[in-house]
Structure 1
Amino acid sequence: MDGTRTWARIGALALLWGATFLWIELALEALAPVHVTLSRCVIGSITLLVACRVAGQRLPRDRSVWGRIAVAAFFCNALPFAMFSVGQRSIDSGVAGVLNATTPLWALLIGVITGAERGLRSTRLCGLLIGYAGVVLILAPWKAAGSGGWGIVAVALAAASYAIGFAFMARHLVGTGIPTISLSAAQLVVATCLTALTLPFGGLEPVEISARTMAVVLVLGVVATAATFYLTYRNIAAEGATNTATVGYLLPVVSVALGVVVLDEDFNVRIGVGMSVVLVGVALTRRFTSTDPEPSSPAPAGTP
């Protein structure tokens, strides 16, 4: 049953997270990157604050906890959200999802450096490398050298930032006895404040918001930000930072598929084979996770 629940969480998170790139692409048709980033943080934080209230939970009160939340909000929300919005102005949503799939490699590297990934099994390491090979196959840098420019750099930076954020959250926030819903709500509130500071840099121009844009922003904030972020916290509590980052390997499948179907982005045999390789890598990284040490207790003690 635990294995089924784990895969259910991973599947739901992959679907919601993978669809995020589509919603960002649609929002960027009418809004600047700063607007997209701020709106998803605002709507996401309001959604989680309401959920927190309904669950009868309060936000943390300890100043030291808020300090740690601020660090996590920067690396796991404000910075990557901004980089995705900036990057997707010059690259497709499917490519953004592919680049985000490098998060597990960054997480593994950070885990090894910090000592959180001691005794890493060779099979799991092989799975990570195979998964990365699938990402490279989908991205095909030998065919698109130089295309995307700073957009590719921005999204790659977002993936690395996610990995740092996951590791920090696992070490300093998860398992502290604070309900997950409270932590996730507080973190998005701080991310909103951090993002608001960037408004002078391209976010002060007036914009016309249509009903379509409003609907896209609402979905991006409520579903692709609040719900996805809450599930991420739950997954870190239950599975650890590196295992949660492994969800990133499923994102190319979702993001590329949605990009092809909804936005008419490119799809060919190479991309299809790359997706298959990615899934093989996921299977190997998930095969021996029960005995791998994680930076926090696997029991979601802090969840409501």
Structure 2
Amino acid sequence: MTGRSALRTGVLALLWGSAFLWIELALTGFSPAQVAVVRCALGAGVLLVLARRSRQRLPRGLWPHLVVAALFCNAVPFLLFGIGQQSVDSGVAGVLNATTPLWSLLIGLLLGSERGTTPTRVLGLVLGFGGVLLIFAPWRGGVPGWGVLALAAAAASYAVAFAHMGRTLVGHGAPLAVSAAQLAAATGLSALALPFDRAPATPNATAVVAVVVLGVFATGVTFVLNYRVIEEEGATSAATVGYLLPVVSVALGAVVLGEPLTPRVVLGVLVVLAGVAMTRTAPAKRPPERRPPYQLSVMSTQRDVPRGRSADLG
């Protein structure tokens, strides 16, 4: 990796990993539903401008599949992250987001669609979820609340979305245009939650800046950086970002927000990442697959990529 690409990878990890910090700050003036809608709208706007500049056209026949992807990859998880972070620290939220590959493997095993699973991958699944338990330490009397369940459901929603996208969107359409269309659909879907949201917006300067940065940079601009990393350095370099995201979220939460960073939390993060790494070992004699970069554009902060594909960003 050259110095320039390493810098680009670092900036990408910082922008994407900071999404949980911006969500936390945005919640000081907006409700989870309001944050989700604005985030999707701003991200879609950025990508629509870039798609137009690149002369990429929006897809037509893909809209039914894009709506499903927008629901599970954007509207639902973006809302759930906002709900979860009302009671869970931003750093821990980033770690729970990193469990998306674990959910992908677990769902595949339950549905019988996961072939060639090795003992190493199964051990990684157990180890990864064990790391989550280590962070929350339920044996010490702490019972995971609704916030934790919401964050876990968001990671599982990403896993469902990636399975659907892998079957219906891979190799179809121009990446910028497809990602813009998906986020535009997610904006409409997220807006459906607003009538049920009775919390009035009480915007302040911090919340406004946070939601703008979240939508423009942590959701829109990051796609372009990720695309360039994959294009110039390949999937391996892009995958590095996936492992940096929870580290960035935990570090920012501790430094900026003063969230507690105990040895148990640090060890739990390392165990989760080790488990994720083990689940990504490819089955023997199976050629690796490559995911088109447009699928990563709509993943907020960290997101899963099945074994052999480009990156786990969300």
Identify the TM-score tier after normalising by the shorter chain: 0.7 to 0.9
How far is the alpha carbon of 1:138 from its aligned partner? 2.1
- Contact 2:27 2:207 (C-alpha < 8 Å) held by counterparts: no
1:28 CA displacement: 0.3
* In structure 2, distance between residues paired with 1:285 and 1:10: 23
How far apart, in 2, do the equivalents of 1:27 and 1:120 lie? 41
Deviations 1:82-118 (A, max 9, x none): 1111111111112212222321121112334566532
Structure 2 stretches lacking a partner, 5+ long: 296-314
Residues 79-228 of structure 1 aligned to structure 2 (within 5 Å): 79-112=76-109, 117-143=114-140, 145-146=142-143, 149-176=145-172, 178-202=173-197, 205=200, 207-228=201-222
| Contact preservation (8 Å) 2:100, 2:159 | yes
SS of the counterpart of 1:142? helix
The answer to whether the 8 A contact 1:94-1:256 is kept is: yes
Deviation, 1:124, is 3.3
Q: Give 2:305's aligned residue.
A: none
Residues 36 and 22 of structure 1: CA distance in aligned 2, closer, same or farther (over 3 Å): same
In structure 2, C-alpha distance between the alignment counterparts of 1:222 and 1:213, rounded to whole Å: 14
Amino acid at match of 1:137: L
What amino acid sits opposite 2:194 in the alignment? Answer: L
Find the partner of 2:247 among 231, 244, 253: 253
* Matched-pair contact (CA < 8 Å) for 1:75–1:164: yes
Alpha-carbon spacing, 1:300–1:153, altered in 2? closer, same or farther (3 Å): closer
3-state DSSP of counterpart to 1:200: helix
Larger mean CA deviation between 261-270 and 134-143 belongs to 134-143
TM value normalised by structure 1: 0.81
Q: Secondary structure at the residue paired with 1:52?
A: helix
**188-197 or 278-287: which moved more?**
278-287
Q: Does 1:40 align with 2:39?
A: yes
Q: Does 190-199 or 14-23 show the bigger shift?
A: 14-23
Change (3 A) 1:279 1:105: closer
Give the whole-Å Cα distance in 1 for the aligned partners of 2:274 and 2:85.
27
Residue 76 (structure 1) aligns with: 73
Q: CA deviation at 1:203?
A: 5.8
- Asked whether the 8 Å contact 2:227–2:294 carries over to 1, the reply is no
Structure 1 Cα separation of the partners of residues 283 and 205 of structure 2: 45
Aligned match of 1:298? 290
Structure 1's unaligned 5+ residue stretches are none
Identical-residue share of aligned pairs (%): 54
Instruction: Provide the rounded CA distance (Å) in 2 between the counterparts of 1:290 and 1:250.
Output: 27
Deviations 1:248-292 (A, max 9, x none): 665432222111111101111112222332343344344547954
Residue identity in the other structure for 1:133: G
* Residue 154 of structure 1: how far off its partner (Å): 1.2
Q: Quick one: distance in 1 between partners of 2:192 and 2:20? A: 24
Deviations 1:125-155 (A, max 9, x none): 33343333223222323336235x2111211
Contact 1:174–1:236 (Cα < 8 Å) also in 2: no
Tell me what 2:27 maps to: 28
- Which stretch of structure 1 is more off in the superposition, 34-43 or 284-293? 284-293
Q: Which moves more between the two structures, 133-142 or 184-193?
A: 133-142
